[in-house]
Structure 1
Amino acid sequence: MAQNNRPRSSGRRRSRQSDSSPGRFRWLKRIIFLFVFLGLLAVGGLAMAVWTTKNSLPSYSSLKASEHGQTIVVHAKDGREIVSIGPSYGRWLTYDQIPESMRGAMIAVEDRRFYDHFGVDPIGIARSVKVRFDTGAFREGGSTITQQLARNIFLNNSKTFDRKVREAILALALERKFSKEQILELYLNKVYFGGGAYGIDSASRLFFSHPATDLSIGEAAIIAGLVKAPSRYSPTADAEAAVNRAHTVLALMQQQGLISPGEASRVNLDTIELKPEYGQNSVRYFTDWVLPQLDFILPETYEPIEVWTTLDVGMQRAATTAIQNNVPKGSQGALVSLDRDGAILAMVGGTDYVESNFNRATDALRQPGSAWKLFVYLAALEAGYTPDSPVDDKPVTIDGWTPKNSGGGYAGEIDVRAAFAYSKNTVAAQLGQEVGFSTVASMAQRFGITSPISTYPSMVLGASEVRVIDMTRAFAAVAGKGTSVEPYGITRVTTASGQLLYERRATREQLLVAPYVAAQMTDLLQTAVSIGTGRSASIGRPVAGKTGTTSSNKDGWFLGFSSGITTGVWMGRDDAKRVPGLQGGTAPARAFADYMKFATAKRPVEDFETEVKLPAWQLEPDDEAWFGNPGDYYFVDENGNRVEPYGGGPDGQYQPPPDDGWRPGDPPRGGYRDDPGVRVEDYRGEVGTGNVTTGPRAVDEDFLDRATGRDDPAQQQQRAPQGRQQGASAQPPARRTGPSGMRIIDVQQALENNDR
């Protein structure tokens, strides 16, 4: 019987499978058909877009005549014109007039499959994505020369998906309308090579003093290498970087068969002579930093515009002179000066913009040395230290690292103020270990340090590299009583006819540390200038600041503030070699003083608010005190009714209650007496034992039961077993003593406790 049942059961299963197979097959065909339909629809839409774009493109002669680029007039803070920047075009060269080495160099470095793709290169995009997955960064671009031409002529450089789609459609349309030779001719005559030069002829005359028709293979390799980053690889900015980039271009040309190994070996890039330039000045460091920001704040426009900036011409001149007069021979210097709100008053990126337009104020990463201790001591002050707290300057070893003080001596037991003033490395190491090196790193990031930060013990002495502008920003936040500062240089942009295109709005400030922490930090910084390592930075009015010197005197820093102006100075060599005698308290501090004497001359003398003044009811402030929302707290009387603090004025400061004539020893007036030996809070929140309090209790237990939900029988049952087991009773919500002895109930905490 069982044997007869098995075949029938198996037959039914096969029948069901055969019945269901056609159904699955039909759904699979429908899905495939849907994808094919959507694909054809997308291809049709793309074809229609390309066809429409192609028909709307200007003629080749129109594209040749059009001059891409804007005339930009830059104004200083007082409205004076400081720079007028416009495109520079050389002679138009036809495809046949362009040296073959120049054409080959550009194709090798920018688009090796130029003659094989149709405007967009899927293989190049796939290669770029692969490199992205292999290295974690986009080291190879996927844009073709045609796409770059479309972007240069018709679009801007914003990195948005919409712009990339339009760029691809334009590239496809250009390939349909023009030949490869025409596209390459347009590209080489219009691409930007830096220094205001558009096209290879303008670039050749700018860098080599001769027309592009006379370019050698080595010169062509240098020019081709500029396209990726005109400012970084400019031979006038960094000759070594330009040569290294040119070697890469030559290697690619040889690899792709565009030049022979013999031709490549005969190229000597070190013998190429650059055109000498004169007449530039340090204002260009500022304009080079500020003008690229227009791509992000303006809509697409190619008409002439005027840019109004924060730069003070007099301060810029004083800053340039201060750097040039104090920088050690063979070294470079940088300076950034900020107003209270972050407006950049002066910026110097090097000793000579003509010799090197590399901006060391915004781009260079250098070790800050002891200037980094700003963040170590901020973390320590926030953790509870004060300038008068005792510390021990003694030998210390942390995870095998033994810091040494400058001079090799130890002072023994001193206070925090002296340790900071004399830049004691051993004390900074101990403080960093106590608060946590990650806490110090977090504090630095909180204050605007954007470069990577190490959390090894040596980080407390400035082992991590930083930018001058970031460090200056951090000191400005301390000067601003702990509020954030965002450096900016553009206030508004208009067209030549006066139409407003952009106007800066004040950014929302954030409280980075409590004001009392910033006040204590200012106390330390002021002492460092008055009696410590920064004495050379004195200018005859209150100054707060800090020196920084790295090992072997490779870097020297001074950063400080006075009368609302914060300035950071760095000096050192670009190759990070030792500079004999360079210390933060010498040349950088003197340059700071020379500049600040001029910068603050027309400002009133301001004393620092270094005395820590806390409300009487908040002698031990916590994070909630400074960062919490005042609306999260309220005041209650003994019956749980909301009341206002005594004398709560518009400034929110505590006002003492009116004198009702009661004096210690008088009979109590409705007060409460504690039991002997039991601690209770009196009227002002003080602790007494057996004394009469001078006012009613802020809340009673019934109110706390209602506020926390302890009067809910269901919640009592949930908590009771645990409380009995642990021998504990339910706890009230977090409370703090308020004005007049009233307790402040944390509403959010009470609600959370009630939810639990």
Structure 2
Amino acid sequence: MKWLKRIGIIFTSLLLLGIGSIAAAYFYVLPDLPDVATLKTIQLQTPLRIYSRDGKLISQFGEKRRIPLKLEQIPKPLLQAFLATEDARFYEHGGVDPIGVLRSAFVLLSTGQRKQGASTITMQVARNFFLTREKTIIRKIKEIFISIHIEQLLTKDEILELYVNRIFLGHRAYGVGAAAQVYYGKNVNALTLPEMAVIAGIPKAPSTTNPISYPTRAISRRNIVLFRLKEVGDISEAQYVEAIKTPNTASYHGAEIDLYAPYISEMARDYMVQKYGEEQAYTGGYNVYTTISSKIQIAAQAALRNNVYAYDQRHGYRGPYKVLWDSSLPEMIQPEVDIIQSKLKATSNVQDLIPVAVISVTEQKVHVIDKTGKSYWIEWDGLKWARSFISDTRQGSAPKSAFDIVKVGEQVWIRVVNGAYQLAQLPSVSSAVVTLDPYNGSIQALVGGYSFSQSQYNRVTQAKRQLGSNIKPFVYSATLEKGYTLATLINNAPINEPDTRQGIAWRPKNSPDVYGGPTRLREGLAKSINVMAVRAMRLAGLTSTRQQLLDFGFNPDDIPRNESIALGSPSVTPLQVVRAFSTFANGGFLVEPFYIDKITDPHGETIEQAIPTIACKNEISQAQADDPWAETFAAMSEEHGIVTEEEHKENLSCEIDSEFRYAEQVISPQVSFLIRQALKSTIWGGGNWSKGTGWNGTAWREQSLKRRDIAGKTGTTNESRDTWFSGFNPDYVSTVWVGFDDHARELGRTAWNNNLGKAQIYGAESGAKTAGPAWNEYMSSVLKGLPEKPDTPPENIISVRIDLETGKLTRKTDYTTRFEYFIEGTEPTEYVTDSTSDTNIFINNSEEDDLFQ
């Protein structure tokens, strides 16, 4: 009995000592224990994601890749794999597993090695959220107490959800959602059983058991996970046998980008960093939904690339990118394929250009291989363009064979054109494309350059370039605002006036240098006649014209106080230009461009929502309401999200709710309509070709779109340093700019290439030939399948038949006449007579004003 009593005393003493030790340990670490209640509101470090308007992922920013998932979104076999491997008794213990601790201690005492850990999933959550990974007794004590607190605060499912979203799984992947993407390029629900087992096996040692860095170890660890699943009864013997035979299929996958649009994603990233700070922006899990349409963006990028390739090709081939080996040396032996491949791997693909090595040349064919060892044949049709580049204004003679173009051993570029391979080169010219919705200012597409990897300079928002003739619609709008009309005759004659202050003469010239005497304003704008633009500006006055340009949103510092503005001397960005042109498409309203529609937090809650400016009058009179134009506007309003059809029927004043703002009206709907009509003549021309009076506007190539609801304007500066095309239909306004980043470099000219057909572009570069083709290709894609929309005149617009030579009223109905639009009260009142002696009535105020004011 004494012996039993002593044992009892010892046991009780040890028990009390243990309890006391635990209590002492608890109170010792208590000041350092975190508030585990923060787990209820914990924000996982989730990267910043940028999306298109239609939900396509454009880009992802952040050091840690994480795709937070709800527990019910994760496949059950994947959860079972984690539980079987990491904590089989997870749903039975209270945060610390006594059985696991005893088992681990027994293994340690019997073998002297730590072959089995005792950490539960809850303890791993405690360590991952609140502690470091240092192996000390104090850290372990803290881990135990924190785990117990966690179990009291959260349910088992909530703990497991935190674990599978927080756990580090190698290669910057945090959580199973990111791991599925990084290793297999899949959504977690698409993983196979062996792939799930691989991911579940990583937490033990993420750096050395992940399937990319250490595939053999990863497969070994996977098989252990599969064995545990079989052992606990989660999979059958047959499933186990089949799964362990599966080879490793893991490979690195970057963020699953659906839409490559780097310039707009960089704009969104910069906005988020400026607004929320770098740390919060990159880890706060924000989702930025831009206004970009994926379909339109893809079309814009393709059109820009194809256009700069076309410019580069007609100016000549600049030679190989590199010479990998000199095949002209007699002793030179062609390297082995693997050596050629290793040399090629030093050069990355650029856009759709593939670096290749020339390994053989025949009379009209070239054999090349790429960095993977794949070989290609470039036929003569893909080579014959490549006459040599001499300068921006000179090219060599057309090549007669492939030997005139390339040599064995050269590294060149190729791309796919209409299913065939074509010799290519990195473009040296730059370009930009931007598209707005004219009714709310949302940016539908934005391409700031040929290649973001080569240059992050965003030419849409940062490049200020001379506007050239793209400025003329704004100049003419000031003239129309003063009461002049599309039928007003302006003298198309040379201007030669001295500048008394500088002692020089300013002699603006037409391009080409041809003059036709009295010409109607419509035709002068459509043909982009320089001297007429200067005289039209004088009709409105320099001060009024300059103010008109400021009303269109241009910066005062960019608009000089001299008459050169009539020919496009101001330097502005493509974004400013497309915004200004939108006023002609939407009835005269200056909308504010915006590219972020909304921003949501990690839980999908909207924290920022764009409030766009809408091209809509605050009040519309009953006369307007009764006008057919109001119905057209109502349809457009509904389509562009301004108001619903029901709202419009109830309130013809076009009121809008607090989610929108009214855009400022900078020109009247009537002037907007008249400029729109003149810009349609830029495309469709006028006169009667069968009678010898037909004429083309500068944008006649856009007739290939076969749409009567498009309008546009070309633009070319002196020496063709900048070329523009801006155009629109009722749905989209787009501006294309082409030029060199070096302002001093001219776009030059090209000669006829005898190897190419009649469709080739040659001669001096210009807005029509250099920027226009990109707009043409782009809008052909964007507008495909969309019905044409009528352009109904607004109120106070009337149409009368005029004589084309004099602009006066006429009773004739033949080819010498046409119906012309006028703002009511400005139409001609005098009829033309049969005599032609009185037709020389035109406005020529070239001597009325000083050159500079």
Band of TM-score, shorter chain:
0.3 to 0.5
Of Structure 1 and Structure 2, the greater helix share is in 1
Using structure 1 for the length normalisation, give the TM-score: 0.46
Using structure 2 for the length normalisation, give the TM-score: 0.41
